[in-house]
Amino acid sequence: MKSTTRADLRRSGFTLVELLVVIGIIVILSGMSLMGFQRVMRLRDDAKTRVQITLLATALDGYKATYGVYPPGDGGPTSTAVLRTELFPAKGAADGDKVFLPDLAPTNNQGWGGTGPVVDPFKNNFRYRSPGTRNVSDFDLWSLGHDGVEGTGDDITNWTN
């Protein structure tokens, strides 16, 4: 039977340097996957915002078809508050009342109904201007994007630049 010596025991494990290299590689790979995940989440929020702008635009077109004009909006931070009162059903609304966009609370965490400005997936208020300055015959509807600053490249709009 062979006996183990101290030298044999020292050689059977990993060195500290080897462990640090492996941990460093794991940290680098984790950081890269986290950056990719954040990018995917931002793309998801961009897509949700585009869908919400399309839904609001369709509801505004229905409003104009009924009343002949779009509701007024000045493009300010609270400009979409008027959309809540004009497009969405009020609590206790009669069946015959005009509803241009039903409450989507099950599919949209904020819901469309309620009070105050309509909020985008980035937790910024949508902006609404009627008559529009970009869409002169229609209205302007936009989100400030993930940075919350107007006029930057990440703004999502209902017009083409």
* Extended strands (E) in the chain: 73-74, 127-130, 140-143, 156-157
> What CATH number is given to the structural domain containing 28?
3.30.700.10
Residue of higher predicted confidence among 100 and 53: 53
Residue range 92-106, pLDDT digits in tens: 555 556 667 765 544
The whole domain housing 117 covers 16-157
| Residue 87 and residue 126 in contact, taking contact as beta carbons nearer than 8 Å | no
Category of 83 on φ-ψ map: left (φ > 0), alpha (ψ -120 to 50) or beta: alpha
pTM for the whole structure: 0.71
Residue of higher predicted confidence among 90 and 154: 154
Distances (CA, A) of 52 to 28, 88, 157: 37, 14, 11
Calculate mean pLDDT across residues 107-126.
71
Q: Is residue 141 classed as helix, strand or coil in its secondary structure?
A: strand
pLDDT of residue 21: 94
Task: Examine residue 11 and state whether it is found in any structural domain, yes or no.
Answer: no
Contacts of 20 (CB under 8 A, 6+ apart): none
Category of 144 on φ-ψ map: left (φ > 0), alpha (ψ -120 to 50) or beta: alpha
pLDDT of residue 23: 94
Calculate mean pLDDT across residues 115-126.
83
Amino acid at 60: L
Task: Examine residue 9 and state whether it is found in any structural domain, yes or no.
Answer: no
How far apart are alpha carbons 36 and 93 in whole angstroms?
45
Number of domains comprising the chain: 1
Residue of higher predicted confidence among 6 and 27: 27
Least confident of 59-73, 77-91, 137-151: 77-91
Calculate mean pLDDT across residues 146-156.
88
Calculate mean pLDDT across residues 131-136.
85
Task: Examine residue 60 and state whether it is found in any structural domain, yes or no.
Answer: yes
Place of tokens 């209902």: 158
